[in-house]
Structure 1
């Protein structure tokens, strides 16, 4: 596959792969990565108890009112001429009422004394992250180490493998899903879109376990669930079970490689779209197909999105074929996707093709990130950190300046940013939900570049991972 042109500021593929190797080594030293089942939590003293009853010791209770003192907030960009050279910050005190930021106080302000005070110790507060493509229902995480088995028939070998593996994993599916939720909370994600197997082997059993796990964490994280026909929507004749999954509460209809797996692109896409229309649901299709096969599916899905009035409700996950679009055709296709509010979910893959994420973002396509597999039978990689995915994107696309690193944060936050493009503080504001992550960094650019440690994650005012310490009220 032809390499795209690179500017002087962009990494070559060889340089990038070398840099990724260095990240892995450094991460192991810093404790970001670990062996299976014992990934150290990125948040100090994070709760390891399951469910909504797990509240870190000394943390604010649900719906409580308190002051979070000494919070570092970004306040603007520092310029030399037209060049952003650094990011300025301020220290503020947040008055939190019933999960909402009621007021933001300066150091000179008189703070309430009749409610608890906690000390952020001048840690940087960033918007919480969004994990937008993960499989919480099937993982080896929390169990013995297992590497991936080689295949000769690609996805079809994986489907055959699952026919034996899924029943074996089913008894611990809920437990492992909860461990993964704890992991991503520790990295600062308070929103998750999880794909969940709907197949002839386990039916809706994985969904039942996943829903129980997410119910236990209902006070810590928002979620969406994609009914995912991993063994093929048509190939496994699973439409009726998919409809049952939608009746059980899935928010999105999934699909899988309509040509290479289902063998009938038109009927596969039509069936997926019809289910979505019938249940007034979104769509999130796994599209691994490359080249013209994948592009044909995307073009047809664009037509169906418009015809079915699904604007703003369709996501194409992976979409590897977009890396093969020639110049000119790419802009036209992305502009059409943007006009329909279509999203592309990516794990920022390292391979033969480079996903055109910068151009998609420039033309208005909503690009969202996810870890996809977390040490399962598809891949032994993935640490659960969406910020790491933004970090990899910054390396891959040469976003090494203060400004570009800062803007890369939006990939992890779902577009919520502390500063506008021109450097005006726009988050947080009084009235915003008190959901964010406290980070050991001086600014968002440093957090992206250095993968700074997450000290605590807040969801609707409650500390859901890590700890914040009580302080005196004066």
Structure 2
């Protein structure tokens, strides 16, 4: 009987460090030159990372592309929301579970070991999506960590909509989601007030989608920061997108970033979806037919925890996507010019350990960390970004989920 349940031999944990990793009881117990374990994997000098964390997705809406027609493509954000209501009117639990399951299986094949999914809670679909994803969460509990955010796709100000959010949380939603943009003009602050009330009532973290437009005149982020401070909710608020920050005057943006740091705000970026989002007022000075990404490098430089998500997958809002975090990394690094070594390393952390921190997981290729590990098809971090997005081995809680030894042997020789 070996000292370790599983040993990964010849694992590259930095560009210049090749070692062995000993795993017991779902944790990395020892890193160094080790004897064989009860089970062994020869990484053959391939790069080993913590599992990818998809910090923002919409599993209940994924693969709606199969229900769409060509005239549904290329619409604005608001037009897409109208179309979504039409498609959601025919939702069923079995339909959602089938589409979401297909997406999760693809995510697993791409090395994703943890997911936060925003799940619609609204009068159109009721709590059917939440019930569907709770069933899937239970089904996949040994293969992937799934965290569910109750997402008020049609708002939360109306009493009936708030009641639905409460039902979703009571059923088992882990996080309170938010979308102030969908409220009638003037109700955005009320939306935030209700979100914070719900979060405090049920002791939940908040994950709020803000500022999908790059128009700083419409920015709701400053109100989120104000409310976070008023409610003493430091460290428990995440904002997704925050794109208007990219168009604010630099000095104003610096002050907001300083506030975000002091309030320990987390930020999620969804690079591909951010770049494709369109708005109607394309001739306005501030509203471009293409979108942008928030000030990722400035946020990173200030030590703010940034995570990455795929956002929508093959649906109304983003009809593309193959569930690959490597693809999202490539888009992020290219669009924000994160080409220094520090930024490249930081970007990969955004897709792994930063996302894990957001979800309360203890990731990292270090002794004592959770053994959610992937062996990549690469020999360096740059090689990961330039790879074919193949993940030869996925390990979850110290158990081998998938392994293609041929890919590891072929690349290493």
Is it true that 1:89 corresponds to 2:17 in the alignment? yes
Q: Which residue of 2 aligns with 1:161?
A: 83
- Over 3 Å counting, the alpha-carbon distance change for 1:147 and 1:195 in structure 2 is farther
Tell whether 2:325 aligns with 1:377: no
* Superposed CA offset, 1:64-116 (max 9, x none): 92333232221xxxxxxxxxxxx3131x232222222222342xx5445xx23
Superposed CA deviations along residues 369-393 of structure 1, whole A, max 9, x for unmatched, are 1111101122212221122222222
Equivalent residue of 1:174, what SS? helix
- The answer to whether the aligner puts 1:285 opposite 2:208 as a matched pair is yes
How many angstroms does 1:261 deviate by? 4.4
d(CA) in 2 for partners of 1:141 and 1:314? 29
Cα distance change of structure 1 residues 292 and 144 upon mapping to structure 2, 3 Å threshold: closer
Gaps of 5+ in 1: 1-63, 75-86, 418-425
Alignment of 1:214-233 (within 5 A): 214-233=137-156
CA distance in 2, matches of 1:187, 1:323: 30
The secondary structure found in structure 2 opposite 1:415 is helix
Take 1:442 and 1:191, find their aligned partners in 2: how far apart are those partners? Answer: 24
Moved more, 154-163 or 128-137: 154-163
> Aligned residue for 1:44?
none
Report the CA distance between 1:232 and its aligned residue: 1.9
Any conservation in 2 of the 1:197–1:227 contact (CA below 8 Å)? yes
Query: Which blocks of at least 5 consecutive residues in structure 2 are unaligned?
Result: 276-289, 357-362
Partner of 1:198: 121
**RCO higher in 1 or 2 (8 Å CA, sep ≥ 6)?**
1
Query: Do the aligned residues in 1 keep the contact of 2:154 with 2:182 (CA within 8 Å)?
Result: no
DSSP-derived class of the 2:134 partner: helix
Task: Say yes or no: does 1:100 pair with 2:40.
Answer: no
Q: Displacement of 1:430 after TM fit?
A: 2.7
Provide the TM-score with structure 1 as the length reference.
0.74
Residue in structure 2 matched with residue 436 of structure 1 by the alignment: 373
Partner of 1:69: 9
**Alignment partner, residue 218 of structure 2:** 294
Contact 1:151 1:157 in 2 (8 A): no
For residues 180-199 of structure 1, the aligned pairs below 5 Å read 180-199=103-122
Distance 1:157 1:399 in 2: 33
Call closer, same or farther: CA 1:65–1:459 in 2, change over 3 Å: same
Structure of larger gyration radius = 1
| Matched residue, 1:17 | none
Report the Cα distance in structure 1 between the residues aligned to 2:185 and 2:107, rounded to whole angstroms. 33
**How far apart, in 1, do the equivalents of 2:324 and 2:373 lie?**
15
Q: Secondary structure at the match of 2:345?
A: helix
SS at match of 1:454: coil
Cα 1:158–1:231 change in 2 (3 A) is: farther
* Structure 1 pair 352–240 and aligned structure 2 pair: CA distance change class (3 A): closer
Give how far 1:416 is off.
8.3
Could you say which structure has the higher helix fraction?
2
Match of 1:132 among 51, 55, 63: 55
Q: Tell me, what secondary structure is at the counterpart of 1:233?
A: coil
Instruction: Answer yes or no: is the 8 Å Cα contact 2:48–2:376 preserved in 1.
Output: yes
Q: Report the more deviating stretch, 303-312 or 167-176.
A: 167-176
Give, in whole Å, the separation in 2 of the partners of 1:302 and 1:281: 17
- Shift in Å, 1:329: 0.7
3-state SS of the aligned residue for 1:273?
helix
Whether the 8 Å CA contact 1:196–1:226 is kept in 2: the answer is yes
- Tell me how far apart the structure 1 counterparts of residues 139 and 253 of structure 2 sit (CA, whole Å): 43
1:261-410 alignment runs, 5 A limit? 261=184, 263-287=186-210, 288-295=212-219, 297-348=220-271, 349-350=274-275, 351-410=290-349
Measure how far apart 1:289 and its partner are.
Answer: 4.6
How many matched pairs?
Answer: 381
TM-score by length of 2: 0.84
User: How large is the Cα RMSD of the aligned pairs?
Assistant: 2.8
